[in-house]
A and B are shown apart, each in its own frame.
Chain A
Amino acid sequence: MSRSRWLAVLAFASILALGVAACGSSDDEATGSSSDLSGEVAGAGATSQEAAQEAWIANFENENSAVTISYDPVGSGGGREQFNAGGVAYAGSDAAISAEEGEMKAAVKRCGPGELLEIPAYVSPIAIVYNLPEVEDLQLSPETLAKIFNQKISSWDDKAIAADNPGVDLPDTRITPVNRSDESGTTENFSEYMSEVVPSVWTHEVSGDWPVKGGEAASGTSGVIEAVGAGEGAIGYADASQAGELGIAKIQVGKDFVEPTPEAAAAILEESPEDKELSADKYMFPFALDRKTESEGTYPIVLVSYLIACTEYKSAGEAAVVKGFLEYAISPKGQEAAAENAGSAPLSAALTKKITPAVEAIKVG
């Protein structure tokens, strides 16, 4: 055969080989699991939970080899919409189901004759990251923080920052605030914090869209981290677990300056009351975070993400899988796995005890 013929054959053969090798891989490598749960369950929702869901699903599938769970990280809004339409069995959402636009009604209807279930399952501290190699520790009060992100403070050696950091030598570098260009729960939580704690400085409406024009905007947590890392003097807000090499600021809470550790983030849930208005039944636990708290060891800039499900499903098999999965997700082992893979803050024992009855209420047969 001619040389070009040989090359063509080689080309097709390599594609075929790729496909066959991939197809040939087997997913039935069950390691002696004795579970009798089986079936496919689909979930969808917040991208913030993506890494945690990956851990939960992987571990759960290892224990129950006949089960396949999938989680579409389409975003909180998409997740809730899909759930209400009956397209997925559970949803992950950065925001509790709201009463607006009939969302609550639709969700309750979707679960009927059962009840709607909403539990916090993922708590993640939002760190204020900055890029100033010569400044090891940075302390910021809420006012200063809000002014920086409002673009009212433009230089690092400003009086306000110096007041928060006595004795620290601050350079006169220009401050570049970095925000999210995509709508996100991280933005909403950060904005909510500033709006509640320093409403005189942060006068913007709270939403998932960043309200201040003219700053450097980046897409996704990874984008913000990259952008802050790329510019000296940049400061941004992002999921604490992704901070990497960047400096992390301590935020003033009461008299102390607190670091965004998982423990401090989980502590705020302990302090906060449930939002009774958003609770349609006894299996819903939406929280109204008390960001103004001054208790020791709490870090108020957090993202709390919920899992939404029903207590009854059309198929008993589906209900059993959802129940088992949610049980695992909120269990200490599950929370530990999420913390390891996603850097989240494990739910406290007290909180887990509170929300377990909701999961136990799922009817199986």
Chain B
Amino acid sequence: MAPGAERRLLLPGSIGWSRRAKDRLATVVIGSAFGLAMVPLISLLYEVAKRGIPGLSVEFFTESARGVINGGGAAHAIVGTLVITGVAALISVPIGIMAAIYLTEYGSGKLRRALTFFVDVMTGIPSIVAGLFAYALFEIFFGPGIRLGVMGSVALSVLMIPIVIRSAEEVLKIVPNHLREAAYALGTPKWRTITRIVLPTAFAGLVTGVMLATARIIGETAPLLVTTGVIDSMNSNPFDGRMQNLAVYAYNEYRSPGVMKQASYDRAWAAALTLIAIVMILNLAARLVYRRYKTEIR
């Protein structure tokens, strides 16, 4: 800081007007930035709700599209999204958090820096490339033309894992060392320190990271187009055959609406609305967990 500023600080009770003005300005700028960030959100939610609500119905949630031309429900897509995303999370979360633990607790020097670096590179993989990779991988074992729900999950994991790792790593890094040291001083083995002290302290942040990653992938279309295939009928088994999901369903309804355009568009928006609703509910649950388990570091 400039010497003049230091002198001003030491005088009790006298805050110069320029500092006060800067403080006010900063508050206004920060507040407006937040407001600006809210504008697209409100616009998006409004548009999706406005266009999606006409497409909602009981049928939408309970019927699949099997045997129905230009109609039917999206139940098969809803189940597909839940299954594919669930399996992707099942794959990504354990691996991601363990890798983050490796990076913060065990890794040393070069290997750790290399791993962090490459995880960052992974975040740049385009979603369609992740899909093509997953397809190529399964093609080796199952031959060409294979389409499985779990392939979509693998493709989504490629996209999800880096986000889980990076955000988990940031949160684990912030857990202060004195907590760990206190535990070691008491003779706690390292692994128990991690599971009993470090993870619970960082728990809320970890949940945020997982939520972020889930939200990222749940609306992905491109990788699923080339891995899970498209089907009208219900399928809840990720290891057996094609599976529909809300994102691909919405995209197909938009892209090839057929002669009855408006009905197809309505369904596409309704599927998008359902997707957002699912994420909102999951997010809400995560937030409540956060509030319950939030620990502040003193």
A8 near B288: Cβ-Cβ < 8 Å: yes
B258 near A7: Cβ-Cβ < 8 Å: no
B75 near A42: Cβ-Cβ < 8 Å: no
* A201 CB within 8 Å of chain B: no
B interface size (C-beta, 8 A): 50
* Residues on the A chain within 8 Å of B252, using CB: 50, 73
In the complex, what's the smallest C-beta–C-beta distance from B172 to chain A, in angstroms? 25
B259 near A342: Cβ-Cβ < 8 Å: yes
Q: A8-B289, A22-B75 are in contact. Are A54 and B281 (CB under 8 A)?
A: no
In angstroms, Cα B193 to Cα A89, docked, is 56
B146 near A70: Cβ-Cβ < 8 Å: no
A25 near B63: Cβ-Cβ < 8 Å: yes
* A15 CB within 8 Å of chain B: yes
In angstroms, Cα B234 to Cα A21, docked, is 12
B79 near A343: Cβ-Cβ < 8 Å: no
Closest to B288 in A: A8
A47 near B62: Cβ-Cβ < 8 Å: no
Residues of A20-73 at the interface with B, using a CB-CB cut-off of 8 Å, are 21-25, 27, 29, 40, 42, 44, 47, 50-51, 54-55, 57-59, 61-62, 68, 70-73
In angstroms, Cα B264 to Cα A342, docked, is 12
* A244 CB within 8 Å of chain B: yes
* Residues on the B chain within 8 Å of A348, using CB: none
Q: A42-B147, A343-B258 are in contact. Are A8 and B285 (CB under 8 A)?
A: yes
* B156 CB within 8 Å of chain A: no
A21 near B229: Cβ-Cβ < 8 Å: no
In angstroms, Cα B258 to Cα A242, docked, is 7
In angstroms, Cα B258 to Cα A342, docked, is 5
Q: Which of A4, A59, A220, A341 contacts B258 (CB 8 A)?
A: A341
* A164 CB within 8 Å of chain B: no
Q: A22-B61, A27-B64, A50-B255 are in contact. Are A72 and B288 (CB under 8 A)?
A: no
In angstroms, Cα B236 to Cα A25, docked, is 11
**Which of A22, A27, A70, A342 has most B Cβ within 10 Å?**
A22
A27 near B66: Cβ-Cβ < 8 Å: yes
A19 near B64: Cβ-Cβ < 8 Å: no
In the complex, what's the smallest C-beta–C-beta distance from B242 to chain A, in angstroms? 5
* Residues on the B chain within 8 Å of A113, using CB: none
* B254 CB within 8 Å of chain A: yes
Residues of B222-269 at the interface with A, using a CB-CB cut-off of 8 Å, are 225-226, 229-234, 236, 241-242, 252, 254-261
Q: Is the interface of A mostly helix, strand, loop or mixed?
A: helix
Residues of B28-80 at the interface with A, using a CB-CB cut-off of 8 Å, are 61-70, 73, 75-76, 78-79
* Residues on the A chain within 8 Å of B289, using CB: 8
Q: Which of B233, B260, B291 contacts A68 (CB 8 A)?
A: B233
Closest to B284 in A: A11
Q: A70-B242, A82-B144 are in contact. Are A222 and B257 (CB under 8 A)?
A: yes
* A87 CB within 8 Å of chain B: yes
A25 near B62: Cβ-Cβ < 8 Å: yes
A220 near B67: Cβ-Cβ < 8 Å: no
* A337 CB within 8 Å of chain B: yes
* A88 CB within 8 Å of chain B: yes
B147 near A72: Cβ-Cβ < 8 Å: yes
* A14 CB within 8 Å of chain B: yes
Q: Which of A57, A86, A342 contacts B232 (CB 8 A)?
A: A57
Closest to A54 in B: B69
In angstroms, Cα B134 to Cα A250, docked, is 47
Closest to A344 in B: B259
Given contacts A70-B230, A340-B259, 11 further A-B contacts (CB under 8 A): A22-B76, A22-B82, A25-B64, A47-B256, A54-B70, A59-B69, A61-B67, A72-B147, A222-B257, A341-B259, A342-B259
8 contacts between A and B (CB under 8 A): A14-B281, A15-B82, A15-B278, A78-B226, A82-B145, A88-B145, A337-B69, A340-B69
Q: Which residues of B contact A (CB under 8 A)?
A: 61-70, 73, 75-76, 78-79, 82, 143-147, 225-226, 229-234, 236, 241-242, 252, 254-261, 278, 281-282, 284-285, 288-289, 291-292
Q: Which residues of A contact B (CB under 8 A)?
A: 4-5, 7-8, 11-12, 14-15, 18-19, 21-25, 27, 29, 40, 42, 44, 47, 50-51, 54-55, 57-59, 61-62, 68, 70-74, 78, 82, 85-88, 220-222, 241-242, 244, 337, 340-343
